Amino acid sequence: MHLRPTQAGLGVVLTAAFGAMLASGPANAQPYYGDGTLPSLQGQLMGGYSATSGAASDYLQGGWVADGGITYWLNHGNGLGLRADLSYSYQPATDQFLSFGQQTTGQEVDDGWGNFSAASAGLIYRAPFIGRSRLYALAQIGISHVHLRLVQTFFVPGFYCDPYFGCGYPTVGSSSVYVYNTNHLSWNVGIGVEFPSYWGQDWFIEAQYRRIDIAPRPFEYWPIMVGMRF
C-alpha cells in the first residue's frame, strides 16, 4: 500500500506543531546539565523506515534510511538552531518498475532498486513539550543524488567448490538493463520529539517529508527514524 499524502495536510500539521512550540515559550525550558545550559553543538545519528509516495511509489517500494549530521544551537541548546545532514536510503523496485524496464528495453528484468543520497542544511527549532521531553521542527534544502537500476541475473558457467558438497555449482552474475544517475535539488520538512537522558544524550523519534524535484513528477519519500543526539 502506497502513501499519497497532500502537501496541504502536511502544512496544517507543521503549522500546528510550530504554534504549540512557540506557545510553550523558552521560560519553561528544563536544562539537564549542571551549569544550567544545553550544549551548543551536537551530532546526531538515526535510521529507520522510508515510505514512498507520488511518482516515487510507481517505481520504488518502502525501504530503509540512515542519516547523520550536526546541529548548532544559537542559544545554548534552546530555541533556534542550524542543522546539516547526510543521508542514504535504499528502496526495492516495484513490479511496475520491473515491467516498465522489460517493455522499454526488450530484455529480461528480474531485479531492481533505487537509492537516494542527500546532503541538506537548514533551520531547526525546539521547545519544551511534556515533562522533560522537547518537541522540534525542521526545514532544509539540499542536493540529492538519485540512482535507479534494473538488472538481469544469470548463471555463470564455472565451478564453485564446497567442502561438504564438492564442486560443480555455477556462480550467479548480473548485468544492468537500465540505469538512471543524476543530481537534483531537494528539500525536506520534519517534526520530532526528543527525550534527554542523564548522560547528556538525547534520544528522539523523527518523521520527515522529503521531495526531490525531478521533472515532470517529483519523487517524494517519508522517513520515520529513531536516533540519538550527542
CA distances from 64 to 9, 53, 116, 191 (A): 24, 15, 11, 19
| Single-letter amino acid code for the residue at 43 | G
Computed from CA positions of residues 116, 118, 124, 130, in that sequence, does the dihedral angle turn out positive or negative? positive
| Cα separation, 156 vs 174, whole angstroms | 9
Per-residue pLDDT of the chain (230 residues), as tens digits, is 334 444 444 444 444 444 444 444 443 334 444 444 678 999 999 999 999 999 999 999 999 999 999 999 998 777 999 999 999 999 999 999 999 999 988 888 999 999 999 999 999 999 999 998 999 999 999 999 999 999 998 766 655 565 665 565 565 677 899 999 999 999 999 999 999 887 778 999 999 999 999 989 999 999 999 999 99
Q: What are the structural domains, with CATH classification, of the chain?
A: 7-25+48-229 (2.40.160.20)
Q: Which residues contact 113 (CB under 8 A, 6 or more apart)?
A: 60, 90, 91, 92, 93, 148, 149
| Cα separation, 145 vs 158, whole angstroms | 37
67 secondary structure, DSSP code: E
Q: What is the pTM of this model?
A: 0.78
